[in-house]
Chains A and B, each alone.
Chain A
């Protein structure tokens, strides 16, 4: 029964949701809302599972003096500091007159300071790494190995130059419709769109097929095995 009950639930819920998509009458029109609410509640409580797991593994690394215990200590300290200031500023804000939110960008609110000057900066830094990685990936991957690769290379050149003002600077002597920016737009609007659509259609069909397999109970790996 350990497997049969989840498979039955999956089948019933999956079928009901498919049917509900076509039936606007109450209560079918509310299923999606109820499900989203329940999922948000379950996910919110489930966060504690992950957080406690993270703390447990980090603590074990520190106690057993493993190689990356410094990183583990940093995780625990950061975790506790953010929680402390979140609660502290939250309660202070509720008790203040007039009340303020711990997310208000007012000076002196530590949580907001940590968000703006630590979290936002670190997130932006990680995102900025993409610029460098794109360069190194392009340098390594864009080789004219065969006809298709050469085609990709040329298209990449045209779009990279056409999407910045330098492209038109180079081709300003050509008629407007033949300048690099127009060529890049044509590649994006026509060639890229066609390719994206084809991939999206394939993905959508794959999604339907996989979802149907899960609903019918043919795909059971997510339960922990066949």
Chain B
């Protein structure tokens, strides 16, 4: 009896040493199947909180906790298992788990208005030969009840809401002022000023104009801006009796561009000069489109090329080919990564917002110019905010969280 007690006590002491020299990682610790050693159960997680996930459409409760002390010191926690039961019931079911070191789980399978109770099990999985032979866990105190609800306003986006109010308010104010007769100055945009000269060059040389509206679809504002400019360019081309070809990459862009070019010819008083095949679809594929455009440039040798819209890697291929045939090229895109290629290869480049301003510039319509003024005011506000933010952050006053987008 005394010998048996001696061995049992020795086993407990030894197991204490074993757990004290446990491995650094949170991997399940392989333990020999020795009935005399007892693996230690990890301490439970603390400060468990279950509350409605904020700023969502309901059906979600977020459970957070502080790590089990054994997670940070002894590193014997494998994972945290989150259990849920309805209020008044003891039937806890597992709804998710999180690896050791992490401290939250979002339960997305709850019903709004129903109260739930949660508890978190700090779990240790003991492996032998890659198989789990024992699972030790200790539950936290149940917390709750927590109910999920849907919110009507996403408070995390309040900063964006305020920004939009300021920006849109400025734009609408200046549009209203323009409607009241106020005129606004707009600086010269070289690329747009040269549109008439570029079309005139094609007329003199007796060659066609090619207008490439980018490779994105109608859901991209760049494509819409490009088609707006197309309308003006097509009208000038129609007035000069110069053919304009518009090879497109998307079917819906083709349909819209056909209408725009047809209307432009009608406005110019030359509806009979319009041909249906001026706007044609090539392919959706990026490099297939680039290859087709290059082939058209090299065979048709247009005098003027417009590359305005959303472009990606194919931009330089098109621009360089246009340059090699001696065409005058006016480009414009809001893709910052493609701007350097257009600047290097084209004669004139509309950089980002200049492309969006082109329609206002070409039409000189006061309401459109007013919107540009409002946009500029918005830019001034952001510039001021950046300067103030830099100064405050430099003095250790954290303001960057105010501008965080969620």
Q: Which residues of A pack against B, CB within 8 Å?
A: 18, 21-26, 29, 39, 42-43, 46-51, 53-54, 57, 60, 67-68, 71, 122-123, 126-127, 129-130, 133-134, 136-138, 140-142, 196, 199-203, 205-214, 216, 218-219, 221-226
Prevailing SS type, chain A contact patch: helix
Give 5 pairs: A residue, B residue, CB < 8 Å, sorted on A: A126-B314, A133-B317, A137-B319, A205-B375, A224-B263
Query: Which B residues are in CB contact (< 8 Å) with A23?
Result: 152-154
B281 interfacial contact with A, CB 8 Å: yes
- Encode contact with A along B230-263: 1 for CB under 8 Å, 0 otherwise: 1100000000000000001011101110011011
Given A205-B379, A212-B371, is A50 in contact with B254 using a C-beta cutoff of 8 Å?
yes
B336 interfacial contact with A, CB 8 Å: yes
> Which partner residue on chain B sits nearest A79 by CB separation?
B283
B150 interfacial contact with A, CB 8 Å: yes
Q: Are A46 and B255 in contact (CB under 8 A)?
A: yes
B132 interfacial contact with A, CB 8 Å: no
The one of B151, B228, B352 that contacts A221, using a Cβ cutoff of 8 Å:
B228
Least CB distance, A72 to chain B, in whole angstroms: 11
Query: Which A residues are in CB contact (< 8 Å) with B61?
Result: none
Q: Are B356 and A210 in contact (CB under 8 A)?
A: yes
Q: Are B227 and A206 in contact (CB under 8 A)?
A: no
Which range contains the number of B residues in contact with the other chain?
A: 35 or more
Query: Which B residues are in CB contact (< 8 Å) with A53?
Result: 251, 254, 280-281
Q: Are A219 and B359 in contact (CB under 8 A)?
A: yes
B194 interfacial contact with A, CB 8 Å: no
Q: Which of B40-48, B51-59, B84-92 contacts A (4 or more CB under 8 A)?
A: B51-59
With contacts defined as CB atoms under 8 Å apart, how many contacts are there between chain A and chain B in the complex?
203
Give A95 to B112 CA distance when docked, in angstroms. 46
Least CB distance, A216 to chain B, in whole angstroms: 8
Give A210 to B150 CA distance when docked, in angstroms. 33
Q: Which of B21-29, B122-130, B167-175 contacts A (4 or more CB under 8 A)?
A: B167-175
Q: Are A24 and B375 in contact (CB under 8 A)?
A: no
B4 interfacial contact with A, CB 8 Å: no
B341 interfacial contact with A, CB 8 Å: yes
Query: Which A residues are in CB contact (< 8 Å) with B171?
Result: 208-209, 212
The one of A123, A136, A210, A214 that contacts B287, using a Cβ cutoff of 8 Å:
A123
* Interface residues in B262-302 (C-beta closer than 8 Å to A): 262-264, 266-267, 277, 280-288, 290-291, 295, 299
Given A23-B152, A24-B151, is A202 in contact with B353 using a C-beta cutoff of 8 Å?
yes
- Encode contact with A along B330-354: 1 for CB under 8 Å, 0 otherwise: 0000101001010111000001110
Give A21 to B167 CA distance when docked, in angstroms. 16
Give A91 to B344 CA distance when docked, in angstroms. 49
Least CB distance, B299 to chain A, in whole angstroms: 6
> Which partner residue on chain A sits nearest B252 by CB separation?
A46
